[in-house]
Amino acid sequence: MSKNLSQRWDEISGKPKGAYVFFKVPLLRMVPLMLVLTVADIILWGELPDMRLAVMSVIKIVSVYIVGVIVGNLEWTFFKNLCEKNFIKLTQIRNQYVLIYGFLMFGLTIMISQLDIPIMSVNLAVCYIIVCPLAGLMYAGLMWLMIGKGYAKYLKSES
């Protein structure tokens, strides 16, 4: 874990923080995901592109870009704190992991991709607003169950 973490931090910190936060995470990770989800939505529902769909797509992409900037900043800080050994408890690492990769990266991104406010019923919108972030938290929780032991070993070996 320590070697992989050091390599990951060297990769991330090898370029300026602004390039990572404003370019790499939002434009190379988050926006392409939104484009794939938008195209899949068009194919799945057979919607022909019209002005409403174009405007909603732009709003969704801008929203996901903003989430991507937040994720990039939090991820940068997360890896920096891991490498500088600023975490004392495993719960601190877990909480950051769940926030970044579950709630923000998975939950909010899927929620934004599915919301179609002008047409969608209020009940369905509320359902997406509640269910998608919760699904993200569950996803991150399951991922944490698989990788949490590695972080625990790292935390014990470095103290």
- Asked whether the predicted pLDDT for residue 112 surpasses 60, the reply is yes
pLDDT at residue number 135: 95
Mean pLDDT, residues 134-155:
92
Q: Is 112 exposed, middle or buried (0-12, 13-18, 19+ CB in 10 A)?
A: buried
pLDDT band at 5 (very low <50, low <70, confident <90, very high): confident
Q: How long, in residues, is the chain?
A: 159
Q: Give yes or no for residue 97 having a pLDDT over 60.
A: yes
Do 96 and 78 form a contact (C-beta atoms < 8 A)? yes
pLDDT at 114: 85
Taking residues 135-159, what's their average pLDDT?
88
75 burial (CB, 10 Å; 0-12 / 13-18 / 19+) is buried
CA dihedral 90, 21, 133, 33 (to 10 degrees): -120
Give the model's confidence band at 1: pLDDT under 50 very low, under 70 low, under 90 confident, else very high.
low
What is the structure's pLDDT at 3?
A: 62
Count structural domains, the chain: 1
> What is the rounded average pLDDT of the residues 37-43?
80
Give the domain extent around 83. Answer: 2-158
CB distance 118 to 88 below 8 Å: no
pLDDT score of 40: 81
Band of the pLDDT at 9, cuts 50, 70, 90?
Answer: confident
Looking at residue 8, what is its pLDDT?
85
| pLDDT given at position 2 | 56
**Residue 75 predicted with pLDDT over 90:** yes
pTM listed for this prediction: 0.86
CB 93 within 8 Å of CB 82: yes
What is the mean pLDDT of the segment spanning 27-39? 87
